């Protein structure tokens, strides 16, 4: 009887730990807006970022479109998983008002090479330390890559996601914004 009680107690503790872990995962990796500083989103929209031609762009250039801002790097393995999907989604939903913009934490030449290899069909900008600080204030406290922020047509944050952003999760957010 003691062995059976011990096994049931162990199974119960394991189930509670799994449920807690799942809850923390959902909280940490949610599309929710907890931990997002609205002033940081406005600052991100206004921040001048270098494009691959050496010019300067701001995310405000795409105001009026549903914007997916993806923070990434060429050396980031999960980024290499999600970017081909972004290319497909840009082609599919771009005419309906969706605009992906990638902000790379890397040097311009590797980003250009990456863009050619992956046939990226959306704008790529180069971020620096100040952009990384804004990314953290936009909800990515841990600074992990990839990290994506979804904005509605007015520039308000509609969702965020750390880690690989799947098509299903992305479409569930942008589908109601397009």
What is the rounded radius of gyration, in angstroms, for the C-alpha atoms of the chain? 19
Position with higher pLDDT, 128 vs 32: 128
Give me the pLDDT at residue 2, please.
Answer: 67
Among 50, 37, 2, which residue's Cα sits nearest to residue 149?
37
pLDDT at 70 over 60: yes
DSSP 8-state assignment for residue 138: T
pLDDT of the residue at 135: 93
Total-model pTM:
0.80
Is the per-residue pLDDT at 7 higher than 60?
no
Distance of CA 54 to the CA centre of its chain: 24
Percent of the chain exceeding pLDDT 70 equals 80
Judged by average pLDDT, the poorest of 1-5, 23-27, 93-97 is 23-27
Q: Would you say 169 and 85 are in contact if contact means Cβ atoms under 8 Å apart?
A: no
Residue 33 CA neighbour count, 13 Å, CB half: 11
pLDDT confidence bin for 18, thresholds 50/70/90: very low
Taking residues 70-82, report their average pLDDT: 97
Per-residue pLDDT, 40: 87
Looking at the chain, list the stretches that DSSP marks H as alpha helix, in order from N- to C-terminal side: 2-28, 38-46, 77-93, 108-118, 129-137, 167-174
pLDDT digits (tens, 9 = 90+) for 48-67: 999 999 999 999 999 999 99
């Amino acid at each position: 009887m003691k062995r059976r009680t011990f096994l049931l107690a162990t199974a119960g503790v394991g189930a509670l730990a799994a449920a807690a872990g799942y809850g923390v995962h959902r909280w940490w990796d949610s599309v929710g807006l907890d931990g997002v500083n609205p002033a940081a989103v406005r600052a991100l929209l206004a921040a001048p970022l270098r494009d691959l031609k050496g010019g300067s762009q701001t995310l405000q250039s795409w105001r009026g479109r549903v914007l997916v801002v993806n923070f990434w790097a060429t050396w980031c393995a999960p980024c290499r998983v999600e970017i081909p999907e972004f290319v497909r989604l840009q082609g599919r939903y771009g005419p309906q008002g969706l605009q992906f913009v990638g902000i790379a934490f890397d040097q311009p030449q590797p980003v250009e090479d990456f863009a050619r290899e992956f046939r990226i069909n959306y704008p790529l900008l180069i971020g620096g330390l100040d952009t990384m600080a804004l990314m953290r204030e936009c909800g990515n406290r841990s600074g992990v890559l990839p990290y994506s922020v979804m904005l509605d047509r007015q520039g308000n944050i509609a969702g965020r996601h750390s880690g690989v952003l799947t098509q299903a999760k992305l479409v569930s957010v942008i589908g109601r914004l397009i």
